Chain A
């Protein structure tokens, strides 16, 4: 229900974009229709009348909504074509791609779960977590580079046959499969330790039957998470379709946002959100079928997952590698243009080569760390503050979190870029809007736990006023674990920001932001793969740091009672 309300408000926000942004779409439209025409007042008024902009925001929204009921999505502003056919065509392509990606995810997650079931390994381990943390845009770029450009096995752009589907489906399916596989594989050992397994073994039940029953036991509580994966797929589709020039709905939405083509953007965002909602509803339906009518939510909770222990050397090594590269790059000039050395291969004077303008890649990498990680830190802090404030109002937090969970950051990024124009601030806001809900949920759970503990009664008994209890007892017990949780999400937030930068929705050239770096280098990836590889590797190191750092912190904290029980999900902010 909250999701439908969320969908309605997001679509309405899309409809009101020109008034929200304070920019005149008539000018944009005029420019797009004919480059020669002077933007005179008459010409602009004609465009406005033509688009129905003169009637005011509510009537435009109203006529669009009534058209929607009749199955008419209006006429696109820029090419002047019907929206519905282009949205339908895009959805068709995207559905085929998502279907293939889902197949990839299924195969991969089975491969990750099998060793746990067959050989009784303790968990899928760091490999699956690593796969789950790699954002789609990064994987897409690397797949393009390796399979498409270097090996030449598969076509890299377009949509003309099944072979065009392979790379996009892999890029979209592997992170989803990694996440699904890890969820199941991490939950299985706990289930296999339950009493009934021993009993069945003792009774001589075959291993195959036990494995089947354990799977059946594990799946229902995880199905809601699968809905989240579906939402992530719709967001990931935008990036993957952009990289491989697939004419799907995600690319349509991005293009429409960049050209301020509101009817097309409305139609595309509506289609994307509906896709996410339908997949979420399918997940909920599956769960109900699996559980049967008699079982209620709480009656089938999973045993707590055993934390994966990571040696502290892994995050430390990743951190050191990143720090050295960044430190070295900081000593160099990121804006100096050496036209003679364009697309130069790595050498002593340019350790990571140069980009298309002859700028030093290492320098740009080093100087890009501050905007990339600094913005992420600011977003992280903002989310933490919001989460702490809302943690004390659990009702508000739950409703808002439901809506925010149903929106992939890239769609919020598209909307905000359409309002405020692309920029670092807009991207930061988009990611902040998405990143606070898990923190707020954690804070709310802790507040509830602390409020219920009896020592607060003892505080009241010594005559402590509410502010004393709040600032000296409740806040410290909540803030510290939530801040740690926020810190673990920092690399994930940086990746989400980079993905927006990659799509041209974040930092603008010539800023050396990592996502933007990756996007800029994509144009000449055949000639200078190092320029694309450097930011890709830096982002992959960041993803690895996110996963190993979180696993290490969890493993270290788990033996103690209290906060260790709250297993924080590993940070993953998909595009």
Chain B
């Protein structure tokens, strides 16, 4: 018997007014697997990511995560599940509050669960993503784009997720920094058994990184 996939998306539809951004998209993803969605800008791949995370509710279709159907859940019902699927956004500065110190931003997902993370725990998280724990005192604008993206990944890891939705995680970075982040993501996948839904427009990056690749054009999956 086949095991239940970690993420199972069926007939996902996202509309913005008259425009159908995501048009009956289906795919599934097993634990520890990396699936890349590749396509040009405007093809609906980021909308797919947002709909999978339920940060933008899809207009129709099903999103099953760990066997649970998400689209029917209310926002409060979703909240306990959210820590298990975390996004990493394209803009490294965009996912961190400009007012928060890195230390607090990384600790926030734990505090939200009512935990009181120690300085050692936060330092361990920063260390895991290759950031010196002394960076914890800084604010996002005092970090480089790559450092900031590492902090964003540390924050995503804090809540012990099973799935990371990587929405163009290296597109805003310099080519030299890019390789470092991709290597980090690959290491984390192996160490923690994470599954990745990897959204990217760069075919070269995708082919190296992903177990499977699907191509998206005009809101539809055209090849797999």
Mark A residues whose CB is within 8 Å of B: 453-455, 457-465, 468, 473, 476-477, 561-562
Question: Would you give the shortest CB distance from A255 to chain B, in whole angstroms?
Answer: 53
A-B contact pairs, 6 of them (CB 8 A): A455-B96, A455-B98, A459-B97, A461-B53, A462-B159, A464-B79
CB of B108 within 8 A of CB of A462, answer yes
Contact between chains at B99 and A476 (CB < 8 Å): yes
| Extra inter-chain contacts (12) besides given A464-B108, A477-B97, CB under 8 Å | A455-B94, A457-B87, A457-B95, A458-B87, A458-B94, A458-B95, A458-B96, A458-B152, A458-B155, A461-B87, A463-B109, A477-B99
State in angstroms the CA–CA spacing of A179 and B112 once bound together. 50
Residues of A within 8 A of B97 (CB): 455, 459, 473, 477
Q: Which residues of A contact B98 (CB under 8 A)?
A: 455, 562
Contacts of B109 in A (CB 8 A): 462-463
**Complex: how many Å from CA A463 to CA B161?**
12
Contact A461 B94 (CB under 8 A): no
Task: Tell me whether A453 and B55 are in contact (CB under 8 A).
Answer: no
Please judge, given known A-B contacts A453-B94, A463-B79, A463-B83, whether A458 and B112 are in contact too, CB under 8 Å.
no
Alpha-carbon distance A460/B81, docked complex (angstroms): 12
Q: B75-98 interface mask toward A, CB cutoff 8 Å, 1 = contact, 0 = none?
A: 010111111001101010011111
Report which residue of B83, B86, B91, B97 has the largest number of chain A beta carbons within 10 angstroms of its beta carbon. Answer: B97
Q: How far is the CA of A477 from the CA of B78 in the complex (A)?
A: 27
Interface of A, helix, strand, loop or mixed by DSSP = helix
| Alpha-carbon separation in the docked complex, A562 to B91 (Å) | 17
A460 to B97, CA, bound (A): 13
In the complex, the answer to whether A454 meets B79 with C-beta atoms within 8 Å is no
B87 contact set on A, CB distance < 8 A: 457-458, 461
* A463:B112 contact, CB within 8 angstroms: yes
Q: How far is the CA of A459 from the CA of B76 in the complex (A)?
A: 14
C-alpha spacing A462/B79, complex, angstroms? 8
Give the distance to chain B from A467, nearest Cβ to Cβ, in Å.
12
> Which 4 pairs from chain A and chain B are nearest by CB?
A463-B82, A454-B94, A458-B95, A463-B79
Distance of A454 Cα from B148 Cα, bound (Å): 14
Given contacts A460-B55, A461-B55, A463-B112, contact A454 B91 (CB under 8 A): yes
| A468 vs B78: C-alpha distance when bound (angstroms) | 16
A562→B152 CA distance, assembly (Å): 21
Cross-chain contact B95 with A455 (CB below 8 angstroms): yes
Q: Determine the residue in chain B with the shortest Cβ distance to A562.
A: B98
| B82–A454 touching, CB < 8 Å | no
Nearest Cβ distance between residue B69 and chain A, in whole angstroms? 18
**Complex CA distance for A465 and B141, rounded to whole angstroms:** 26
- The smallest beta-carbon distance between B24 and chain A, in angstroms, is 25
**Residues of A with C-beta under 8 A to B89:** 454, 457-458
Among B76, B81, B89, B95, residue most surrounded by chain A Cβ atoms (within 10 Å): B95
Query: With A453-B94, A455-B94, A455-B96 in contact, do A461 and B112 touch (Cβ < 8 Å)?
Result: no
Residue of B nearest to A561 (CB): B141
The interface bits of chain B over 15-38 (1 if a CB of A lies within 8 angstroms of the residue's CB, else 0) are 000000000000000000000000
A461 partner, pick from B76, B82, B91, beta carbons under 8 A: B82
- Chain B residue with Cβ nearest A480: B99
Closest-CB distance, B140 to chain A (whole angstroms):
9
Q: A453-B94, A454-B91 are in contact. Are A461 and B99 (CB under 8 A)?
A: no
Hey, which chain A residues are within 8 Å of B79, CB to CB? 463-465
B152: which A residues are within 8 A, CB to CB?
Answer: 458
| Interchain nearest-CB distance for A559 vs B (Å) | 13
The complex places the Cα of A114 from the Cα of B99 at a distance, in Å, of 43
A461 to B152, CA, bound (A): 12
- Closest B residue, CB atoms, query A457: B55
Q: How far does the Cβ of A458 sit from chain B's closest Cβ, in whole Å?
A: 4
CA distance A40 to B53 in the complex (A): 79
From A454, A464, A476, B112 is in contact (CB under 8 Å) with A464
Given contacts A454-B91, A468-B112, contact A461 B96 (CB under 8 A): no
User: Chain B contacts of A462 at CB under 8 A?
Assistant: 82-83, 86, 108-109, 112, 155, 159
Which residues of A have CB within 8 Å of B155?
458, 462
Q: How far is the CA of A477 from the CA of B86 in the complex (A)?
A: 24
Name which residue of chain B comes closest to A465, CB basis: B79
The interface residues of chain A lying within 8 Å CB-to-CB of B108 are 462, 464
Contacts of A561 in B (CB 8 A): 141
Residues on B with beta carbons closer than 8 Å to the beta carbon of A465: 76, 79
Q: How far is the CA of A301 from the CA of B63 in the complex (A)?
A: 45
CA distance A460 to B112 in the complex (A): 11
Complex interface: chain A residues within 8 A of B55 (CB): 457, 460-461
Interface pair A454/B95, CB less than 8 Å apart: yes
| A476: B residues at CB distance < 8 A | 99
CA–CA, A476 and B98, complex, Å: 11
How far apart sit A141 and B86, CA to CA, in the bound complex (Å)? 67
- Output the least CB separation between B164 and chain A (Å): 11
> Can you name the residue of chain B whose Cβ is closest to the Cβ of A464?
B112
